[in-house]
């Protein structure tokens, strides 16, 4: 009995030490050394990575839409205090909700009366344009390579005050384009005409695109991760 009890305690201790799952908001903030500005629950009927529905418009009274409005409130405060204007949205892997966050956060900011431009900086597997039923031609890559100018690449959306720029034709050197000085000039131009610029990027642990672009954003950017808390309801933290 004594041996079994000691073995059970040892196994429980080892399991606790080896468990790297995030156990809650405070633990996530400690791991990231950055504040969590919102916890976004998974919306009913959401289909995961294939979902291209703007939950802030289709279900504005739901928990997910309210969470995005909470994130908006925090960002408006941070922008007022620290001059944050260009926000980079990224995450560690595929299916973390980076594009969903970019689109819905852009909607909520525009609904508050701000002029917002969302930019698809995923030059490998772009999806942002699908949220707004827009084509993917003549976008960011075409501006950076000098094929079109910025006004040509900007598209209106159905949300007043919200504009978008798609990724454009997929280039052979996406990481180099996003880290270039031309990208600096591009963002400087957008700063002149928008209150907020949201950059949707590829997964940061899969490719280096977001890492090269992060220094060009204001502050440390905006990180979105899937929270894994045992058997608790699925949620995402921003």
DSSP state of 171: P
pLDDT of amino acid 123: 93
pLDDT 10s digit of each residue in the chain, 238 long? 888 888 888 888 877 777 666 656 666 666 666 677 777 877 654 555 556 789 899 889 888 899 899 989 988 988 888 788 999 988 877 777 889 889 999 999 999 999 999 999 999 999 999 999 999 989 999 999 999 999 999 999 999 999 999 999 999 999 999 999 999 999 999 999 999 999 999 888 878 888 889 899 985 444 444 443 333 434 444 5
Q: Which two tokens stand for residue 128?
A: 């942002």
Q: What is the 3-class SS of 193-228, one letter each residue?
A: HCCEEEEECCCCCCCCHHHHHHHHCCCCCEECEEEC
- Residues 189, 156: Cα–Cα separation, whole Å: 17
Of the candidates 187, 195, 189, the one whose C-alpha atom is nearest the C-alpha of residue 116 is 195
pLDDT of amino acid 236: 47
Predicted structure pTM score: 0.79
Q: What does R_g of the chain's alpha carbons equal in angstroms?
A: 20
> Torsion angle of alpha carbons 61, 226, 35, 221, nearest 10°?
-100
Structural domains in the chain, sorted by start: 23-237 (3.40.50.300)
- Residues 93, 104: Cα–Cα separation, whole Å: 19
pLDDT of amino acid 175: 92
């Amino acid at each position: 009995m004594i041996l079994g009890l000691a073995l059970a305690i040892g196994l429980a201790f080892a399991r606790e030490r080896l468990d790297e799952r995030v156990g809650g908001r405070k633990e996530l903030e400690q791991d990231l050394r950055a504040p969590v500005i919102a916890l976004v629950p998974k919306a009913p009927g959401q289909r995961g990575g294939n979902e291209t529905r703007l939950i802030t418009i289709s279900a504005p009274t739901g928990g997910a839409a309210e969470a995005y409005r909470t994130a908006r409130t925090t960002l408006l405060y941070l922008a007022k205090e620290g001059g944050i204007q260009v926000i980079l949205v990224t995450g560690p892997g595929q299916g973390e909700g980076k594009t969903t966050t970019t689109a819905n956060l852009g909607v909520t900011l525009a609904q508050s009366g701000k002029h917002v431009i969302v930019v698809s900086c995923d030059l490998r597997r772009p999806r942002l344009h699908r949220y707004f039923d827009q084509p993917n031609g003549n976008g960011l890559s075409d501006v950076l390579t000098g094929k079109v100018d910025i006004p040509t690449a900007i598209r209106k959306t159905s949300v007043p005050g919200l504009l978008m720029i798609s990724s454009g034709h997929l280039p052979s050197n996406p990481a180099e384009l996003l880290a270039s000085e031309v990208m600096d000039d591009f963002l400087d131009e957008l700063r002149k005409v928008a209150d907020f610029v949201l950059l949707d990027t590829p997964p940061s642990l899969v490719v280096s695109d977001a890492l090269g672009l992060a220094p060009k954003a204001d502050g440390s950017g905006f990180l979105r991760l899937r929270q894994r808390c045992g058997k608790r309801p699925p949620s995402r933290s921003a």
